[in-house]
Amino acid sequence: MPALTMTEKILAKRLGKAPSPGEHVVVPIDYVYMHDGTFPLALRVLREMGMEDQVDPGRLILFIDHAAPAPSVAAALVHQEMRRFAKKHGVRLHDVGRGISHQVMVEEGYARPWRIILGADSHTVTLGAVGSFATGVGSTDAAVAAVSGKAWIRVPEQVRVRLSGAELPRGVMGKDVALKLVSVLGANGAIYKALEFQGDLEALSLAARLTVSNMVVEAGAKLGLFPVDELTAKTLLEKYDVEAPRLYPDASAEYSDELELELGSLEPLVAAPPRVDNVKAVAEVEGIEVDQVFIGSCTNGRYEDFVAAARILRRHHVRESVRCIAVPASRRVFQELSRDGIIDVLAEAGCVVTYGTCGPCLGAHFGLLGEGETAISTSNRNFVGRMGHRDSKVYLASPLTAAAAAVTGRITDPRSLI
């Protein structure tokens, strides 16, 4: 067998042969998951095909995480339907408060190296950080996979992203790496490609890698794979009791393209509205007033994200003119933060704290923006109307930069406060 990339290795293990980029293949999947935003259409498709009773409960996982707890009667009815479906068919359901799907997929050990996972959500790519071939699909494809246990895939071209630099500079986080990557590639620069990260990876914790993988889809990528090295294996075992077999590309594996990111030259960044690839140094936009700060989401709702924010919020109070909303990505993350006193730090600084919901990220509830308001958010998208009124604006940033804005009331370089 020729030298293979990580993408090719995972597919070859299922196919019994090395696939070629552009080839269409049918592969068995380990899991397919859906949430309250995508399940209704999938259920309609299953019923139209007469296949609702044929879903595989061993492969399908449901999450109520987007409009959760229900902010409307319509949302409550969707949640009821999901509970009835799960009970009837013996499907695993992670209900309100359990956590955001992508985070829980890692915590529960569903996402592991060498697995193939489909999610009816574009940010399923997050799971590539732990070595899963994980990608988002539409509700129709998810419904078919829930019955067949298989998926057709056009094998993506693979791009090597080489990271260089032993550590991140002061005030820089994984989110800044992700924003830099999207700015270099552009919003359409990696359409249907698999980005494979190599090089000096020790600078990025598993949480930071999850953030980077989460955002590769903002450049159109199909996958964002990190090697499963000693750092990832140790973290998965110690935090989640998950045994992780290693996954690396072959040394002579061939890629369709390559780019390099110099970590040591990075500085705090923001994505200015209305595009994720409209990335600027914080220094370029410093001083812009903000009305709301959101720290959380599947991008930056992990333990270390709130520990970073607390470095600033421990010594400063949220400015009275600002609403600061803090949403740990799961109950488990919330409990860890509570145990270590970080929740108290956030609350005493003036944050509104809850957990386990996507709400503010997509403008579902728990903090929508009004006309003309500006937010700085640790989430992954800043499209027009994403977090509320069409005339609102969203800047994307790291938890450090978001926390700095919360205490000053304007976009601020976090290095001035840590």
Render pLDDT for 295-308 as a digit per residue (tens, 0 to 9).
999 999 999 999 99
The domain ranges of the chain are 6-262, 269-416
Provide the pLDDT for residue 262: 97
- Reply yes or no on whether the pLDDT at 179 is more than 90: yes
Render pLDDT for 267-298 as a digit per residue (tens, 0 to 9).
999 999 999 999 999 999 999 999 999 999 99
Banded model confidence at residue 401, pLDDT cuts 50, 70, 90: very high
Banded model confidence at residue 15, pLDDT cuts 50, 70, 90: very high
How far is Cα 289 from Cα 412, in angstroms, rounded to an integer? 10
Give the pLDDT mean for 331-342: 98
- Reply yes or no on whether the pLDDT at 1 is more than 80: no
Fold: same for 6-262 and 269-416: yes
Provide the pLDDT for residue 61: 98
- Reply yes or no on whether the pLDDT at 382 is more than 90: yes
Residue pair 376/395 in contact (Cβ under 8 Å)? The answer is yes
β-pairing verdict for 193-199 and 116-119? unpaired
- Reply yes or no on whether the pLDDT at 351 is more than 80: yes
- Reply yes or no on whether the pLDDT at 390 is more than 80: yes
Provide the pLDDT for residue 216: 98
- Reply yes or no on whether the pLDDT at 353 is more than 80: yes
Provide the pLDDT for residue 166: 82
Percent of the chain with pLDDT over 70: 100
- Reply yes or no on whether the pLDDT at 151 is more than 80: yes
Render pLDDT for 207-253 as a digit per residue (tens, 0 to 9).
999 999 999 999 999 999 999 999 999 999 999 999 999 999 999 99
What is the largest distance, in Å, between two alpha-carbon atoms of the chain?
Answer: 63
Give the pLDDT mean for 303-317: 98
- Reply yes or no on whether the pLDDT at 176 is more than 80: yes
Provide the pLDDT for residue 211: 98
Provide the pLDDT for residue 407: 98
Provide the pLDDT for residue 278: 98
Give the pLDDT mean for 146-155: 97
Render pLDDT for 66-85 as a digit per residue (tens, 0 to 9).
999 999 999 999 999 999 99
* Interior angle at CA 125, CA 192 and CA 202, nearest 5: 110
- 0.85 exceeded by pTM: yes
Range 269-416: architecture per CATH: 2-Layer Sandwich (3.30)
Give backbone dihedrals phi and psi of 70, rounded to 5 degrees, phi first.
Answer: -60, 120
The domain 6-262 is placed in CATH, from the list 3.30.499.10, 3.60.10.10, 3.40.640.10, 3.40.50.720, at: 3.30.499.10
